[in-house]
Structure 1
């Protein structure tokens, strides 16, 4: 079963005067990953590159950000895959030191930066850290969309809150469209409960969709 990190882990290495600042952290999807990378650029405006790799099901990505193709994002992604991780983002901020490393040197640098971040994961024996970085079981989520009359909007909002689900969005048209997310194991029971309460007045235009 896939696993994800329990908390962010960090690293920093210097190779031929270039500074590489690495981080591996839990990340649910590509939109969140892109927002995090955008924030990193604000924190490191003088960086030459911010390369990143995301393992998140169908939203996985490997971004070289100006480094020669295949020398940064893909090697970083390979490290995550070898650790059997899912729902994680690896980022490496590079400050260029004036000495080119060559394709092989770049691959080693970005690979080592991600591997060392996992190596220094907290609360793990150093000798076994790379294999036993702190991980938690990844809970699969389901995204639901339902249509209800205005008279049932309050009821549905209360049921969403009571179920501990996340309300993602609400649209008001001829009917009220609500989108929510909750653990996949709870989705069927939630749909059945809402159907019972709605007495045939609740519509589900989308099937249950799995996510990480």
Structure 2
């Protein structure tokens, strides 16, 4: 299978609410880029909702969608994190975290009721979210002589590369993003420039 260099995520935070038998489930969807962001987001929600009983969540990360985590936060195993994750899977979203804050209404919902509530709250948040397509981009830094500036700028313009930073002196440095599917073509073009060095910095 060819590597798919596009993925879907959300552009900004969104929320949705589902109620059942007095219990309130507030789902918050966040676009994230790293697992390290989760702790702070949940800490803020715990502050905002100090009387809530559970903060259950699921997240997916990486353009190939293979990184995921979930947490039932005291709900019966499989009744909270898994239904949240299943909604993310069926919507084919990644780089996203959904936290569902539950206020207990005094009546037990049972396993099917909980699964439905966490799933429905997540769906409500995603309905409110703005889903966007993004491309998987690699970030490169190139170093070259000032004399070769025209050649380099011509390639950047022709290939519509997104320049992240640039520094022009006797030795020039440009950092840019390139869509993964066009990477080889761009590197082949840059190879033709004398004394140019390209360094891979990571994936955006």
TM-score (norm 2): 0.65
Matches within 5 A, 1:37-76: 37-56=42-61, 57-76=65-84
Q: Is the 8 A contact 1:30 1:59 kept in 2?
A: no
Please say which structure displays the higher CA radius of gyration. Answer: 2
Offset of residue 43 of structure 1: 1.4
Look up the match of 1:81.
89
Look up the match of 1:135.
131
* Structure 1, unaligned runs of 5 or more: 122-132, 147-162, 167-179
Q: Whole-Å Cα distance in 1 between the matches of residues 178 and 72 of structure 2?
A: 34
Q: Is the 8 A contact 2:9 2:94 kept in 1?
A: yes
Q: Is the 8 A contact 1:139 1:183 kept in 2?
A: no
Structure 1 residues 61 and 181: alpha-carbon distance in aligned structure 2, compared to 1, 3 A threshold: farther
Q: Is the 8 A contact 2:163 2:176 kept in 1?
A: no
Q: Whole-Å Cα distance in 2 between the matches of residues 181 and 88 of structure 1?
A: 25
Q: Once the two structures are superposed, what CA deviation does each residue of 1:63-100 show, in whole Å capped at 9, x if it has no partner? A: 11111111001110110111111111111101111211
Structure 1 residues 70 and 143: alpha-carbon distance in aligned structure 2, compared to 1, 3 A threshold: farther
- SS in structure 2 of the partner of residue 29 of structure 1: coil
Offset of residue 142 of structure 1: 4.2
Look up the match of 2:30.
25
Q: Is the 8 A contact 1:79 1:111 kept in 2?
A: yes
Q: Is the 8 A contact 1:29 1:59 kept in 2?
A: no
Q: Whole-Å Cα distance in 2 between the matches of residues 77 and 52 of structure 1?
A: 8
Q: Whole-Å Cα distance in 2 between the matches of residues 25 and 42 of structure 1?
A: 17
Offset of residue 137 of structure 1: 1.6
Q: Whole-Å Cα distance in 2 between the matches of residues 183 and 30 of structure 1?
A: 24
Offset of residue 15 of structure 1: 1.2
- SS in structure 1 of the partner of residue 25 of structure 2: strand
Higher relative contact order (CA 8 A, sep 6+): 2
TM-score (norm 1): 0.63
CA RMSD in angstroms, aligned pairs only: 4.0
Q: Once the two structures are superposed, what CA deviation does each residue of 1:185-208 show, in whole Å capped at 9, x if it has no partner? A: 598879x98xx99x79x9x7x8x6
- SS in structure 1 of the partner of residue 135 of structure 2: coil
Q: Whole-Å Cα distance in 1 between the matches of residues 183 and 74 of structure 2?
A: 42
* Structure 2, unaligned runs of 5 or more: 1-5, 142-161, 166-174
Structure 1 residues 52 and 139: alpha-carbon distance in aligned structure 2, compared to 1, 3 A threshold: same
